[in-house]
Amino acid sequence: MTLLQRSLAEFIGTFWLVLGGCGSAVLAATFPHTGIGFAGVALAFGLTVLTMAFAIGHISGAHLNPAVTFGLVAGGRFKAADLPAYVVAQVLGAVIAAALLYYIASGHPGFDPAAGLANNGYGAHSPGGYSLGACFATEVVMTFMFLVIILGATDARASAGFAPIAIGLGLTLIHLISIPVTNTSVNPARSTGPALIVQGWTLGQLWLFWVAPLIGAGLAGLAYRTLFKAPGR
């Protein structure tokens, strides 16, 4: 596959992740008096990754996340030269999905733009009011563990064919833990799409949802490459 084809697959996959994950939070979490809640949103994010891993994993690897791509580079699993194209495609997919979600949500008379599009935040904008330090630590650790799951599940020594299930369930668990803290990012593209559409405070806090996931992913890639390298490789 050419880099253009792989990047297009990343665009589509990240579009689906943001539309499905953030869409479940915006449209279905509390609809109309009861809804799918945190658990449903967590499952929705996991299902987007699970479905795309099966659909485009054989094309692009289904990273759907700049932090994942960066972590795979750090882990020696992906060419650094291809990273910019993947990141651009992922961010564009997230922005288009967020714009579409905003358009759909605006079609309901009760939609409040100030409520955002499942934006990530810290301090006063954390769902549970968690501090900057707590949110930063959460994003670093959750992304670190997400990359450990990805690197382990896709290792040549792992059971073949089960990686999408482990990765999808891993992301579901991460959301179950951290939605109350940051609304769960672990994905700079997922945070950037809604932030560019909503703007305001979301842009001021977006830095954390790039810096922390990239740190966590980079550390995981280096750690897995160092600690769990197969003998003779």
Q: What is the DSSP letter of 25?
A: I
Domain boundaries of the chain, sorted by first residue: 3-111+120-226
**Band (33; pLDDT cuts 50, 70, 90):** confident
State the average pLDDT over residues 207-233.
Answer: 91
Nearest to 139 by CA among 89, 41, 207, 52: 207
Other beta carbons within 10 Å of 100: 16
In this prediction, residue 233 carries a pLDDT of 58
**Band (31; pLDDT cuts 50, 70, 90):** confident
**Band (42; pLDDT cuts 50, 70, 90):** very high
State the average pLDDT over residues 75-80.
Answer: 96
What is the rounded average pLDDT for all residues in the chain?
95
Token digits of residue 74: 């750090």
Which residue do the tokens 């915006």 mark? 26
Whether the per-residue pLDDT at 232 is higher than 70: the answer is: no
pLDDT tens digits for range 109-152: 888 877 889 999 999 999 999 999 999 999 999 999 999 999 99
Nearest to 176 by CA among 38, 84, 78, 65: 38
**Predicted TM-score (pTM) of this structure:** 0.96
Q: State the CATH architecture for 3-111+120-226.
A: Up-down Bundle (1.20)
In this prediction, residue 110 carries a pLDDT of 82
In this prediction, residue 128 carries a pLDDT of 97
Name the 3-class secondary structure at 184.
coil
- 175 with 42: CB under 8 angstroms? yes
Distance of CA 7 to the CA centre of its chain: 16
How big is the CA angle at 53 (ends 48 and 56), to the nearest 5 degrees?
110
